[in-house]
Amino acid sequence: MRNLIFFIICTGFFCAFNQSITAQEEPAANKVFYAEFGGGGMIMSMNFDQRFIPNSKLGFGYRIGVGFGIGTSYVENDEYLRTFYSVPVGLNYVFGKPNSASSFEIGGGITYLTRERSIDFLGLYEEKYSHFIGFVNFMYRRVPVKGGFSFRIGLSPLINATYDLVPMGAVGFGYAF
């Protein structure tokens, strides 16, 4: 009888201990919505990033975004206003420790740039056709394990239509969930 009571008590403690361990294992934040300055979206873009493995903030994932840019250019002593829209799409891999907020991302992708419209101050404009550019990311990421404010910073060189590597940095701020 003592052995049976001892067995029941030990089983009860084991079940209670096992439930407390299971309750502490919450899914990691593997989705991030962020604004990025520079990088694949060119000037500024809003992006969504997610891991392919559910409940993990590490491993392979993807990003997709929408961006825009405005700038001026000079042609034959005339000033033109340039506007464009971009759609960056890419794959990435995140390295790090599972329970750490800090990680490192390596990735790349393509950005679709819409027509570029140049408008001078007299009302005349010239349109150029859409095209694709490539980008590569080498980013430090800080994403809290349980979600919240996140940021990323690093190098994001662009690859233009003539396969030239254009150095560029990127910084992003967002929310992980």
Q: Which domains does the chain have, with CATH numbers?
A: 29-176 (2.40.160.20)
| 148, two tokens | 């919240």
Reply yes or no on whether the pLDDT at 175 is more than 90.
yes
User: Minimum mean pLDDT among 16-20, 91-95, 146-150, 167-171: which range?
Assistant: 16-20
Lowest average pLDDT, out of 12-26, 57-71, 148-162, goes to 12-26
Give the pLDDT confidence score for residue 122 in this predicted structure.
57
- Between 24 and 58, where is the model more confident? 58
26 neighbors 146 (Cβ within 8 angstroms): yes
Q: Using CA atoms, how far apart are residues 87 and 4, in angstroms rounded to an integer?
A: 67
Per-residue pLDDT for 34 more than 70?
yes
Q: What is the pLDDT of residue 36?
A: 96
Rounded (5°) CA angle 100-142-51: 80
Rounded distance between C-alpha atoms, residue 51 and residue 76, angstroms: 48
pLDDT above 70 covers a percentage of the chain that reads 71
Q: What is the pTM of this model?
A: 0.75
